[in-house]
């Protein structure tokens, strides 16, 4: 049976009025700020108004190390949220808002897929309520204030060669990665090298995701470090009087967005921090609302469990004070076969025919990655459930192989067909998650706040990634010393590395051992509240491919959008 395209399924959906969606959450309509008939923002007063309600079970969805095509983590998150209604429970979903750069690039949208999607798909992927534009504007406002500060005499004593604040734009545009500003003459500013990152990589986006309320958002914006003096003293957004204007631009963006799935399950869509160099998780504010609006709050952590889930535990939960009751680790037959080392997947090209042949032995050969990601959940004291995300090209023997691997690690496992069957197809998964969430919680952070930055980095590298140790480039050591001297040593760590391997080398599959993690530089997101060591060449401004989605997205005369996927 052929399944219509994601866009065709989404455009055929029957949506409930937003008041009815809110009613499923017992969310009073006076807390809704409606944006048309099918999207609303939720007023922040709802947090305090619902604080005394019972707390839902808090479930994070993560995955094994993915292939370049992804393994259906968002689709699983949406499908699981829908599935709870099929077992007599109420589910609420909380996910990130996608960047329009990848939407118009090679990745496409991020609304889920098949019959487990957030709708309307077009609004979800394109603009929504303007939060990304607010982040872009606030970030670039600070850039303008910074350059004006240099032009007007530089009272803060910033060293122009040590300015760390760039500009952002929510497009894939490699030509903007490295630029020179201030050209044209004395009246056009102070010439200096700079560049653009994509909006999801902005520290302002991470601030949005990690703030508990408006007052904290304002405080974090003020703590953003824009550069250093010649003596190495940090200069902040507050020091150059830029934080207040940023907060004004971000005020309404702090309100989470309410949408729904194809089965009308409530979805909180909020914030979109980059998955490689930032937390890759949706907002704390959305979770603080959703945790009091049903029986289960299902949220997603970007990329594999070594990245998104580790950051969920050690940055997001550390900041919010909330602790998870269970974790879902999404696994696919194709990804485990790739981890066997016998196949290679390239985005934009057909799958190798041999990958689709029945071969449970290859699934077992790639099992080390799944075992390590289950171990990473247990490292934090969280009960894991393996979701076997079923594809039409899979074979029952291969699903049985994944189940056997999971059960050998003492983890629950469930085959899920949510892409083809919606919530009904994830009912077995929902039952397994409900059982896991009833177990006594033993959640623990990986490292204490007062550990040194090097101790924190080395703990993540050795315990989560399986490295033998860490090698620091001279520039990285200099930065770590600078940050600790400026009082930033108590911040958690967000390692920027490839998502295609548990290691820092995308070519190393499975669960590699006998390697050391190279840290070439270390940067600070002081306002967001984390330090990020960089391993390898991390692009913070993507480029468009030879045949990007932008070539195919269009609008018909009646206003119908086509070409999204």
| C-alpha angle 75-81-83 in degrees, rounded to nearest 5 | 100
| Residue indicated by tokens 């005020």 | 251
Please give the annotated binding residues, written as ranges.
67-74
Are the C-beta atoms of residues 281 and 272 closer than 8 Å to each other?
no
Non-local (6+) Cβ contacts of 423 within 8 A are 79, 81, 82, 83, 84, 85, 86, 116, 263, 265
10 Å Cβ neighbour count for 458? 20
Give 448-452 contacts, CB < 8 A, sequence gap 24+.
449/318, 449/490, 449/492, 450/490, 452/484, 452/489
Cα–Cα dist 291/278, whole Å: 23
Non-local (6+) Cβ contacts of 78 within 8 A are 93, 95, 111, 112, 116, 117, 118, 261, 265, 267, 418
427 membership: H or E segment, kind and range? helix 427-437
| C-alpha angle 396-428-69 in degrees, rounded to nearest 5 | 60
Are the C-beta atoms of residues 112 and 423 closer than 8 Å to each other?
no
Please give the annotated binding residues for ATP, written as ranges.
67-74
Cα–Cα dist 366/421, whole Å: 28
């Amino acid at each position: 049976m052929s399944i219509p395209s994601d866009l065709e399924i989404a455009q055929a959906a029957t949506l409930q009025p937003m008041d009815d969606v809110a009613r499923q959450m017992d969310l009073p309509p006076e807390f809704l700020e409606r944006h048309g008939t099918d999207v609303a923002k939720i007023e922040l007063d709802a947090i305090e108004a619902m604080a005394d309600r019972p707390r839902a079970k808090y479930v994070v969805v993560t995955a094994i190390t993915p292939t370049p095509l992804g393994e259906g983590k968002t689709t699983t998150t949406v499908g699981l949220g829908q599935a709870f209604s099929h077992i007599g429970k109420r589910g609420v979903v909380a996910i990130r808002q996608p960047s329009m750069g990848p939407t118009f690039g090679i990745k496409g949208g991020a609304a889920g897929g098949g019959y487990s999607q957030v709708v309307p798909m077009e609004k979800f992927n394109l603009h929504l309520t303007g939060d990304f534009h607010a982040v872009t504007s606030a970030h670039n406002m600070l850039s303008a204030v910074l350059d004006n500060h240099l032009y007007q005499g530089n009272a803060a004593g910033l060293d122009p060669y040590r300015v760390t604040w760039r500009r952002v734009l929510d497009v894939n545009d490699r030509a903007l990665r490295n630029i020179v500003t201030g050209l044209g003459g004395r009246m056009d500013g102070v010439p200096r090298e700079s560049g653009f990152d994509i909006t999801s990589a902005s520290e302002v986006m991470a601030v949005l995701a990690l703030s508990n309320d408006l007052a904290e958002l304002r405080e974090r914006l003020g703590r953003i470090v824009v550069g250093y003096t010649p003596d190495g003293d940090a200069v902040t957004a507050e020091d150059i009087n830029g934080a207040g204007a940023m907060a004004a631009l971000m005020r309404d963006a702090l309100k989470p967005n309410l949408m729904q799935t194809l089965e009308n399950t409530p979805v909180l869509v909020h914030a979109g921090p980059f998955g490689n160099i930032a937390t890759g998780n949706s907002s704390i504010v959305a979770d603080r609302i959703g945790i009091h609006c049903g029986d289960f709050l299902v949220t997603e952590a970007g990329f594999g469990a070594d990245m998104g889930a580790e950051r969920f535990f050690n940055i997001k939960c550390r900041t919010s004070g909330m602790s998870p009751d269970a974790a879902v680790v999404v696994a696919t037959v194709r990804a485990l076969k790739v981890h066997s080392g016998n196949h290679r997947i390239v985005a934009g090209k057909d799958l190798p025919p041999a990958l689709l042949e029945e071969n449970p032995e290859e699934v077992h050969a790639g099992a080390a990655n799944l075992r390590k990601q289950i171990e990473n959940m247990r490292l934090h004291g969280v009960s894991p459930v393996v979701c076997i995300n079923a594809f039409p090209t899979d074979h029952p023997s291969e699903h049985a192989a994944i189940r056997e691997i999971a059960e050998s690690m003492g983890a629950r496992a469930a085959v899920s067909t949510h892409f083809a069957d919606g919530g009904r197809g994830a009912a077995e998964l929902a039952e397994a998650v409900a059982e896991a969430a009833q177990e006594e919680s033993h959640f623990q952070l990986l490292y204490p706040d007062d550990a040194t930055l090097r101790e924190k980095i080395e703990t993540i590298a050795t315990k989560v990634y399986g490295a033998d140790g860490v090698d620091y480039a001279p520039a990285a050591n200099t930065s770590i010393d600078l940050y600790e001297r400026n009082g930033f040593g108590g911040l958690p760590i967000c390692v920027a590395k490839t998502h295609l391997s548990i290691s820092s080398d995308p070519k190393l599959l499975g669960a590699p051992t006998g390697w050391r993690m190279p840290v070439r530089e270390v940067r600070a997101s002081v306002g967001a509240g984390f330090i990020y060591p960089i391993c390898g060449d991390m692009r913070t401004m993507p480029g468009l491919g030879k045949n990007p989605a932008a070539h195919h997205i269009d609008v018909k005369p009646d206003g119908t959008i086509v070409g999204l996927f």
